[in-house]
Every structure is written in structure tokens, then in C-alpha cells.
A = this chain, B = another copy of it.
Amino acid sequence: MKIAILPGDGIGPEIVEQAVKVLNALGESFEMETAPVGGAGYEASGHPLPEATLKLAMEADAVLFGAVGDWKYDTLDRPLRPEQAILGLRKNLKLFANLRPAIMYPELAGASTLKPEVVSGLDILIIRELTGDIYFGQPRGVRVCPDGPFKGEREGFDTMRYAESEIRRIAHVAFQAAQKRDKRLTSVDKANVLETFQFWKDIVTEVHKEYPDVALDHMYVDNAAMQLVRAPKKFDVIVTGNMFGDILSDQASMLTGSIGMLPSASLDANNKGLYEPSHGSAPDIAGKGVANPLATILSAAMMLRYSLNKAEQADRIENAVKKVLAQGLRTPDIYEAGTTKVGTGEMGQAVLQAL
């Protein structure tokens, strides 16, 4: 089995290095090949998603991704900026299902800005559609406004859209994920304003008929943003579109206070996937050996479970991570008085030992 390793920018290389060490220690024979992406891709060959990198990702059985982005690329034209690599990989690999767990580790309860009783034991799964919506809809651009009260002026515009089969397939993923958990699914929309999301709501309601064992409710996105603050533990699985999912999944991960712990998976229709930590490239701490590698190590575990059919190995890694937390080891982002502060490499080493 072949894994494409795309470390990217900022802390990407150092956290991916730890995850690769962990994968290598499992006693499996994975073929791994590394390629540059994001700013590193641009430096190497003038494009954030070099052709050879895309080819490797398409051939591989799974992709382990670090993070991309750095201030120094902010002045590049948009098509050359690092984050375009992420959008390009999602689109080309047809990774339509983004799974983002927001889990509160009992040992890290103090890290949240929310009161312990509001978030302790938090365990929600956000499923974000990842290849449709206003992210990719055409037409888009800046044009002279063709009519209405602003006729003749310049305007920026984009197209939000979802086709029926796009909604159906993400709904199936979400209902099936809910079946494996507490069997409750909240579909987040803005059906009171948007045609796209009235359609979304109608289709999700139809698909629900195939999953009578799952309780479905519908919630407006503004209300969902409120309920995630007020009573996040009331959610089990949330499914929503690309744009709303971008906002809500980041909000939800911040509830835990330890975004350095949260993995993510982006899957296609055949469970091929791209796995990456939920946090970003953090260029301010890059190269200092203080970044938390656990989200990436846990992303590797998700990869074993979803794409490589090695659930046992995934369990081993997840248990090893729990063990190092129980041992009191903490990178600076999750450090609290009374625990032991360690760096990126030491944390990776500790997980290896715990395996």
C-alpha cells in the first residue's frame, strides 16, 4: 500500500516527520513517497500543487498532509497561493466528505475557554461537504454589474450550488456515521433564505427514509453557531455544506481548546482519503521544535482506519496517544502547571514508546 506524504509549510514537515515515525513502527510494509506542496511546492516548481505531487497523490492509496501557508506567500496572485493546493487536491481527488471530530480529552479539560461542565466529555463529529457549494460554483469573478440598483458599477460575485447527487452522497455518509455513534444527525442549512439549502434540506429529508434508526433534525446555521456555544454536547453528528462547514468545524474544534489534538479525514467515494491535522501551518513557531504532532499522528490513525483497512493499528496509535497524555506529557500549546512540557520530537518519541 502506497502513502503519499505531503509535509507542506510551516510546522508541517516537523509534525509529519513524527507521524511517519509512528507509521514506520507499526511493523507494516507501507510504501511512502514524499512530495512538496503549498509554499514548498511553489518554491520547488512554481506552483503550490506541482504536477508530480498531484500525480503521486492520485496514484497513492492515501495521502498524509501536514499544513500549508506562510505570510511570505500572501502577496502572490491567488492561484499561486499555498491554500490553492488544498482546494486542488480536494477537487482532483474528489474528496467530497470531510470528517472533523471535535473531542475533549479528559486530561485537557482545562484548556478550553468554556466552562468544564459545558464541554467535558464533548464528542461531536462534523461532516462537511468538501467539493461543492460556493467554493467551486461557476460563474464567479469581478464584473460590471449587469442590472439592478448598482448597474454599471463593479461587483464581485460567486455562485453557490448543490446538485441532488452531491447532497445525497454526503447525506449517506452522514447517516452511516450517525448509525455508528449515538444515531442523531443534525443537518445545518439556511433554508429560510437560500434556495440551495432549501433544496439541501429537502434531499436530506428524502435520504432519511433509508435510515429510520437515525433521528434527524434541521437547524439554521446561525442557530447552530449559537448552540455550539450554548450547549455543544447536545450534538452528535452534524452534516452541512462546504461554506457553513468551514466555519462551524473551526468553531467546534476551538471549543476543545486543544486544536493541536484534532485530526481530520477527507474521503472520496471509495474511502481513499487525505488526512491532515485540523490546525494550520503556524509559521510563527515553525522549526522551533515546539509544535504538537498529536493531531497529525491521530490523522495517521484515521488513515489506517478509513483508507488502509487497519482498524487495529489505528486503535494502537489512539491508545498510545491516550497513554502519553495520561503520563502528563504536553507540548506548549496544551501545557498546564503540574504537567511535563516536551517538544515535538520528544512527544513523537513518547508515542512510539507507548505503542
Contacts and interface: CB of A to CB of B under 8 A. Distances in A.
Contacts of A78: 192, 198
Contacts of A199: 142, 154-156
Contacts of A141: 195
Nearest to A160: B158
Interface residues of A, number: 63
Contacts of A255: 229
Nearest 5 CB-CB pairings of A with B: A156-B199, A150-B163, A156-B196, A225-B251, A157-B161
A221 interface: yes
A18 to B, nearest CB: 24
Interface string A130-142: 0000110110111
Q: Which of A155, A164, A223: most chain B Cβ within 10 A?
A: A155
Contacts of A162: 155-157
Interface in A138-188: 138, 140-142, 145, 148, 150, 153-166
A150 B134 contact: no
A285 interface: no
Contacts of A231: 113
A197 interface: yes
Q: Which of A137, A140, A229, A259: most chain B Cβ within 10 A?
A: A229
Nearest to A251: B225
Contacts of A158: 159-161, 194-196
A33 interface: no
A266 to B, nearest CB: 16
A159 B156 contact: no
Contacts of A223: 250
A165 B155 CA distance: 9
B194 A134 contact: yes
Contacts of A222: 246-247, 250
A135 B141 CA distance: 18
B225 A250 contact: yes
B155 A161 contact: yes
A346 interface: no
Given A155-B164, A157-B196, A247 B230 contact: no
A60 interface: no
Given A134-B134, A158-B196, 15 more contacts: A81-B192, A83-B192, A113-B114, A113-B230, A142-B195, A150-B163, A155-B161, A155-B199, A156-B198, A158-B159, A159-B160, A190-B246, A226-B253, A229-B254, A230-B257
A198 B226 CA distance: 27
Contacts of A320: none
A166 B150 contact: yes
Q: Which of A81, A83, A156, A247: most chain B Cβ within 10 A?
A: A156
Interface string A247-264: 110110111010100000
Interface string A24-65: 000000000000000000000000000000000000000000
A190 B78 CA distance: 12
Contact of A225 (B165, B198, B247): B247
B153 A163 contact: yes
A80 to B, nearest CB: 12
A108 interface: no
A166 B195 CA distance: 23
